[in-house]
Chain A
């Protein structure tokens, strides 16, 4: 059975702490994503990293705040090369800049798209549908 652990780290130590955790036996990066706490917390963006240790059968989930002023964070691609696509997706969807990433460009949206879709102040983009016999509003 796999045990799970939840850890909170400050953003300055993130890169160093993750290298220590990797040397402690967590070989695989499973997931990297960002949560947008718009107006619910002071610090708007929070980075969530899921790591997995196959030899010890443990998972660890790491939370870390991203500073509000410049939205920058050190990239994890030199520790885990599998974080490449995940960081590009976080940049595309939320606007977080990862320093040291080999190719930080948009991955899911077209290259000339303006805005970051998964932020809470980006609307869904719903087009209102008029049904045929409904009274026109």
Chain B
């Protein structure tokens, strides 16, 4: 912002952004029905391995992307925040499905109405559950947004 944008830093910046998109590793945060569709997206018919993402790291310290797949209840919300805090920068969040985007069809006492009340979300993928194609469209949109520099981390 204060340094002049010369040719050296812009290409370096672009290279850094390109390398960040090429193998983002998601952390396993499958909660409910959307988790089964996430696992199906990682299996052989809709292959996530072609984007370098078939490795679902169990430890949040080694992951870049958190796909919140499923409904987040009041008891689970502090756990979600703790896992998000343990991830190292740069990190991104995809809210998969209707229940994590906005509470979905369960507008009641037991669910957090939208996971963006707890963590900052970059991409919302609608559907109940979203098919593997919709999830992959969401991931590719995230890649595009990072490449174009819209998300600054």
How many B residues are at the interface, by size bracket?
under 10
Chain B minimum-CB-distance residue to A129:
B107
A residues whose Cβ falls under 8 Å from a Cβ of B: 109-110, 113, 117, 122-127, 129
Chain B minimum-CB-distance residue to A124:
B108
A117 to B109, CA, bound (A): 8
B107 neighbours in A (Cβ, 8 Å): 124, 126-127, 129
Give 16 pairs: A residue, B residue, CB < 8 Å, sorted on A: A109-B110, A110-B75, A113-B74, A117-B109, A117-B110, A122-B109, A123-B109, A124-B108, A124-B109, A125-B108, A125-B109, A125-B110, A126-B108, A127-B103, A127-B107, A127-B113
> 20 more A-B contacts (CB under 8 A) besides A113-B74, A124-B109?
A109-B74, A109-B75, A109-B110, A110-B74, A110-B75, A117-B109, A117-B110, A122-B109, A123-B109, A124-B107, A124-B108, A125-B108, A125-B109, A125-B110, A126-B107, A126-B108, A127-B103, A127-B107, A127-B113, A129-B107
Give residues 82-118 of B contacting A (CB, 8 Å).
Answer: 103, 107-110, 113
B103 neighbours in A (Cβ, 8 Å): 127
Convert B109-136 into 0s and 1s, putting 1 for each residue whose CB lies closer than 8 angstroms to a CB of A: 1100100000000000000000000000
Chain B minimum-CB-distance residue to A125:
B109
A109 to B113, CA, bound (A): 16
Q: Which 7 A-B pairs have the closest CB atoms?
A: A125-B109, A110-B75, A126-B107, A125-B108, A124-B108, A127-B113, A110-B74
B113 neighbours in A (Cβ, 8 Å): 127
Convert B61-87 into 0s and 1s, putting 1 for each residue whose CB lies closer than 8 angstroms to a CB of A: 000000000000011000000000000
Closest-CB distance, B10 to chain A (whole angstroms):
38
Convert B4-48 into 0s and 1s, putting 1 for each residue whose CB lies closer than 8 angstroms to a CB of A: 000000000000000000000000000000000000000000000
Closest-CB distance, A111 to chain B (whole angstroms):
9
Closest-CB distance, A121 to chain B (whole angstroms):
13
Closest-CB distance, A119 to chain B (whole angstroms):
12
A124 to B110, CA, bound (A): 9
Chain A minimum-CB-distance residue to B102:
A129
Convert B132-143 into 0s and 1s, putting 1 for each residue whose CB lies closer than 8 angstroms to a CB of A: 000000000000
